[in-house]
Copies of this chain bind each other. A is one copy, B any other.
Amino acid sequence: MKWTELSDNWCPVARTLSVVGDRWTLLILRDCFLGLSRFEQFIESSGMTRHILAERLKRLVEAGILERRQYSAGPKRYDYVLTEKGQELAPALMTLKDWGKKHMPVRRSTNA
């Protein structure tokens, strides 16, 4: 079975994961909750490649979790902000944060 077929699964957890359950996606949302909104900011903060970031942002917009917003009219530029639907993923990020703090101690400092 392919991962993408999960969007029609009977289980709400599976359906959720079909949108945010692949590599990097939840990390982008973490950045959004930290106040970041621009392409270059996501790149710097998360360490993912531009390639993947562009693809993930497209999917998150299609899923109605982020909104693509023009923030500059001169050289047309766009950033990404959480929709209401996206905001409501906050509790999920919080639980993952709490678990990480408790069960995943830092082994070496990377300062980034």
| Residues in A lying within 8 Å of B, measured CB to CB | 1, 3, 5-19, 21-24, 26-27, 30, 46-49, 85, 88-89, 91-104, 106-112
One complex includes copies of this chain to the number of: 2
Cβ of B14 and Cβ of A30 under 8 Å apart? yes
> Given the complex, which residues of B lie within 8 Å of A46, measured CB to CB?
1
The answer to whether B112 and A12 have CB atoms under 8 Å apart is no
Contact, CB under 8 Å: A12 / B107:
no
Rounded to whole angstroms, the CA-CA distance of A6 and B106 in the bound complex is: 10
User: Would A96 and B26 count as touching, CB distance under 8 A?
Assistant: no
18 more A-B residue pairs beyond the given contacts A10-B110, A21-B27, A88-B102, with a C-beta to C-beta distance below 8 A: A1-B49, A6-B27, A8-B106, A8-B107, A8-B110, A11-B30, A11-B100, A13-B27, A13-B100, A14-B27, A14-B30, A14-B100, A16-B96, A16-B103, A17-B26, A23-B23, A88-B103, A94-B95
